[in-house]
Amino acid sequence: MGRVGLLRIADDRLDALPDAMLARALRGIEKESLRVRPDGTLDTAPHPDGLGSALTHPHITTDFSEAQLELITGAQPDVASCVRELTEIHQFVFRHIGDDALWAGSMPCRLPRDEAIPIGRYGTSNVGRLKTVYRNGLAHRYGRRMQTISGVHYNFSLHEAAMAALLPAGAQSAKDDRTARYFAAIRNFRRHSWVPLYLFGASPAVCSTFVEGRPHRLQVLSGDTLYLPHATSLRMGPLGYQSDAQRSIAVSFNSLPNYAASLHHALTAPYPAYESIGVRGDDGEYRQLATTLLQIENEFYGTIRPKRRIRRGERPLHALTDRGVEYLEVRSLDLDPFSPIGVDPVTMRFLDLLLVACVLADSPPDTPGEIATIARNQFTVAERGREPRLRLVRGAEEIGLMEWGLDIVRVCAPIARRLDAALGGDDYAAALAIAEARLRDASLTPSARVLREMHERHRDSYLAFALACSLAHRDLLRALPFAPAALERLSRMAHESTQAQRDLEASDDVPFDAFRRQYLALDVMSGLPV
């Protein structure tokens, strides 16, 4: 297993893709952030009517909380288009939230008591109530505070023609072989999932109230701030989206059947701690959707997921098993507090390179031992990533973080040259150069910059730093010229989404509990052996 962690791309595999085909990838952003008042406290008011329906709007919704906006771009053919669309969505939002700002950091603002954090509401339709009850379950299982952590999800797919060019000669099923190639990419990305944490992690500190009553290893930095001196992404460490229950799920990414079987068990097996919560309380109110280890598929946390667009009422796992993997969702990006839209083009271009490399490279099967090593590497880099001479485990050997990272840069270099040649620029080479510089000098990483700015300008206060960034981004985006066509389009979508929610509510013809039971009983496996 000594060479398992290496990214190695066969020459003929990269050569099989013409430059133009390689450049026809699609990417999209899902960006979460808390809606805060000008003083930096959580705005607990309902989702603003002017933004449309959080249930049915394709680009503006909420995540866990009414105050946690999620802004979603379409699948875009280049990074510049993705940045432009996400900017326009932000501009529209700022026209409808008064003087509020969007919190610039992944770790939350100063929060009210747990029960005062408002859970997302989606109206009276059965599907809307299902979403709210699911969030009630998250609150009971993990606490509302943890759910207010925000981040960026990066969706990526190669063009169908590119995936077809990579299929083995005589392939019998394009769907199955495409899915197998994406699962190989997932295994490769998971082996290197520490890389985005080091290069782009920006949550080395947190408000001290966030960890009240919880065990932690953080150090005091100031009166309201705790941190770790070499941390990169506390969001992706033990303080973030983690739980003992989820760690008990042994998920293999060796194939779609393996993956589906792992999740199917978690979706159907009762879990004693959640059975004690119950589906409904003594007052008759729903506490969660089910007492199983996972209520629904989306509850499973991970750095990357296989994804497929679903049809109305369809279970995500059924969509995957029925029609195969359509794209990959990277979930390990912190919000970039220095970017007005929460993500930088350099980050997006580096992820393009890393994901293409993961698709093209050989990918041995994972093992329980390797999965445990991947988790240890992730937590090590999340909490100690900028520590001098830090070493990680790659296969059966220890290797320096910088040495391993530079290996990845070398693997990505030919891909960057090909993409730049196709697109007529040097943006991908420049993104790779920035990544190399950060690997050689940890002081250039966003997490180091956060601590430096906190110390030099904000008396080591995370809250003061994040609020200053949030207000500056609000003011900049409000002042930007807003294309009339974009304003008209998003205004129309808001109106149409409100009507779509009303139509859903008027069309329901079964009681909610019957709908809940029917949804949970849906076939999630599409006949795959388990």
User: In this predicted model, what pLDDT tens digit does every residue of 276-316 receive, in sequence order?
Assistant: 999 999 999 999 999 999 999 999 988 999 999 988 778 89
* pLDDT surpasses 90 at 92: yes
Cα-to-chain-centroid distance, residue 432: 22
Torsion angle (degrees, nearest 10) of CA 184, 189, 190, 191: 90
Residues 244-257: what's their mean pLDDT?
83
C-alpha span between 265 and 367 (Å, rounded): 19
The residue written with tokens 């029917």 in the block is 518
Query: Where does residue 58 fall: left (phi above 0), alpha (psi -120 to 50 degrees), or beta otherwise?
Result: alpha
**Mean pLDDT, all residues of the chain:** 93
The length of the chain is 530
pLDDT at 315: 87
pLDDT at 528: 40
Torsion angle (degrees, nearest 10) of CA 267, 271, 273, 279: 60
pLDDT at 2: 39
Residue 202 or 240, more confident? 202
- The residue type found at 179 is T
Which of 398, 396, 407 has the alpha carbon at shortest distance from 380?
Answer: 398
Domain range annotation of the chain: 11-521
According to DSSP, residue 233 is labeled B
pLDDT at 212: 85
Residues 467-484: what's their mean pLDDT?
98
* pLDDT surpasses 50 at 79: yes
According to DSSP, residue 168 is labeled P
* pLDDT surpasses 90 at 13: no
pLDDT at 170: 62
Which of 393, 394, 390, 470 has the alpha carbon at shortest distance from 229?
Answer: 390
Residue 299 near residue 133, CB atoms below 8 Å: no
C-alpha span between 376 and 390 (Å, rounded): 13
- The residue type found at 345 is P
Backbone φ and ψ of 286, nearest 5°: -75, 130
Confidence band, pLDDT 50/70/90 cuts, at residue 21: confident
pLDDT at 524: 62
pLDDT at 5: 61
Residue 359 near residue 157, CB atoms below 8 Å: no
Lowest mean pLDDT among 1-10, 220-229, 343-352, 385-394: 1-10
Residues 6+ apart with CB under 8 A from 372: none
Query: Where does residue 527 fall: left (phi above 0), alpha (psi -120 to 50 degrees), or beta otherwise?
Result: left
* pLDDT surpasses 60 at 156: yes
The residue written with tokens 């501009």 in the block is 91
Residue 263 near residue 251, CB atoms below 8 Å: yes
Q: State percent of the chain over pLDDT 70.
A: 95
Confidence band, pLDDT 50/70/90 cuts, at residue 525: low
Both tokens assigned to 433: 């150069």
C-alpha span between 40 and 88 (Å, rounded): 23
**pTM for the structure as a whole:** 0.96
Residues 486-513: what's their mean pLDDT?
97
Terminal alpha carbon distance of the chain: 27
User: In this predicted model, what pLDDT tens digit does every residue of 401-454 receive, in sequence order?
Assistant: 999 999 999 999 999 999 999 999 999 999 999 999 999 999 999 999 999 999
* pLDDT surpasses 80 at 126: yes
Which of 475, 494, 498 has the alpha carbon at shortest distance from 486?
Answer: 494
User: What is the torsional sign of CA 30, 516, 252, 306?
Assistant: negative
Contacts 24+ apart (CB under 8 A), 472-479: 473/101, 473/102, 473/104, 473/339, 473/340, 473/341, 474/94, 474/100, 474/101, 474/102, 476/340, 477/87, 477/90, 477/91, 477/94, 477/340, 477/341, 478/91, 478/94, 478/95
User: In this predicted model, what pLDDT tens digit does every residue of 334-379 receive, in sequence order?
Assistant: 999 999 999 999 999 999 999 999 999 999 999 999 999 999 999 9
Concatenated DSSP letters for 73-125?
---BSSHHHHHHHHHHHHHHHHTSSTT-EE--SSS--S---GGGSPBP---SS
Concatenated DSSP letters for 324-340?
---EEEEEEEPP-TTST
Residue 234 near residue 204, CB atoms below 8 Å: yes
Secondary-structure class of domain 11-521 per CATH: alpha beta
Residues 476-480: what's their mean pLDDT?
98
pLDDT at 527: 41
Cα R_g (the chain), whole angstroms: 22
Cα-to-chain-centroid distance, residue 347: 14
